[in-house]
Amino acid sequence: MSELISRNPANGEELGRAPIYTPEQVRAAVQAARGAQTGWGQASLRQRLQELKRLSRVLVEQADAIARLIAVEQGKNQIEAYGEVMTVLELLHFYQRNAARILRPRSVSPRLGALRSHRIIPRPRGVVGVISPWNYPVTLSMEPLIAALVAGNAVVLKPSEYTSLIGLKIGELARRAELPDGLVQVVTGDASTGQALIAAGIDKLVFTGSVANGRKVAALAGEYLVPLTLELGGKDAAIVLADADLEQAAEGILWGALLNAGQACLAVERIYVEQAVAEAFIQKLTEKAARLRVGPSTDPNHDVCAITTEAQQNILKQQVMEARAKGAQVLLGGDPLPGPGRFFPPTILVNVNDEMSVMREETFGPILPVRVVRDAEEAIRLTNASPYGLTASLWTRDLRRGRQLLTRLEVGDAALNDHGTSSGHAEIGWGGCKASGYGKTRGEEGLREMVIWQHISWPRLGGQLMGFPYSAKKVNLVRTLIKVLFGNWQERLSLFRSRERKG
């Protein structure tokens, strides 16, 4: 069997190896998951939540081991690595308290269906596939996994080939939690493994990754009619208005841009600042960025850690090189640090224009291009001109005006005087619009997507309005109902008087 070699991006050290699953092995994993799902799906929601409490306990017990593995295999700072664990625990806690309300069956009383009783109930989909990325390998694997399990599904997880060991660790967590055998399957591998998972008969897929790969996934899923949730990243903007608290804006945008070394789908990748305060804001931003410490995650004091993949490092170099060639000025950073490992310092660019790839294409790294604009209207127009629509932020002291402007931003998450505020909140569904994908993970919306809402009905009063045989009497009855239910008061009055005359 072929293997994937996992390496520490901070020094190139081999960390371990993982198998590349063949299509036959992927199909076997899906079948094993389907066998386990039968009993799990038939159990009550209360029983499932009770069993998932063990997973919460295991996550707490294993928090140190998980965070260490994230820090060395993915490369992020230790604080952010622990943050992934905390986010997952918070989601488990939220569903423990709220899943019964979110998935509660409900009765409906349609006017045209009054002869029968009607109810909407949730049914598990079956086997949910999760293809997760390398930038948040625990959070973006376990959030859809947990929602799927709560809803009564089994899960087959295909982690990124760059964080295979973390994927295998998630499988270990399920075993430690003594979840039913086969309920959580992990299939490591490359793109071919993901393709095999889509073709293996799953009932839903949650994919997080690039737009280019998202299009391929959507096309293949379309062949098999697999329902999709897609989270495909963004080119997220921060808008700084002339009345903003520049100190707050510089600090908040810097963190929003450089968390996980900028390798976050919600990271600020474009800054639009009104001309009146542009010079002062850029100075503050540059001074604060220059104080950040770059280095491996073994030192918890490092703010900006490793770039996970060589391909991503190359994208950063290419975008900066192209921007320089087209006239951009580099105020800070601009070049990768010498090895060992992959590190790119905070980089601030000015004199950028909309033709540069650094302003149009996803960067996924610690690069902050700053573009000066005339006013808020120009900033909003430029923000919305992007094909992406994940997050955006707006910075101003005028909270009333700011809230109004937020509603004009074509994104899934818009924040005032902060950035990406919903990213760690279990209560809030996560997802974007336009090329940033569709569907939600997390929150109420993410859980509801993991079930099929089935309508069931049964006789209540007897009789059948539209059944055979048809007759002139039934035609008249339907015509009368149209006027009674949907006509204006004159038509109803006319109908009433007509019936009086006949009476």
Which sequence positions are flagged as catalytic?
231, 265
Beta-bridged to residue 108, according to DSSP, are 118
What one-letter code names the amino acid at 387?
Answer: P
Q: Which of 121, 124, 152 is nearest to 51 (CA)?
A: 152
d(CA 372, CA 240): 10
- Number of H helices and E strands in the chain, helices first, is 17, 20
Residue 269 has φ and ψ, to the nearest 5°, of -125, -5
- Report residue 331 as tokens: 């105020």
| Count of other CB atoms within 10 angstroms of residue 281 | 24
Q: Which of 215, 35, 261 is nearest to 126 (CA)?
A: 35
User: Do residues 363 and 315 touch, judged by C-beta distance below 8 A?
Assistant: yes
- DSSP letter for each residue of 168-236: HHHHHHHHHTTPPTTSEEE---SHHHHHHHHTTT-SEEEEES-HHHHHHHHHHHHHHT--EEEE----E
Residue 462 has φ and ψ, to the nearest 5°, of 85, 165
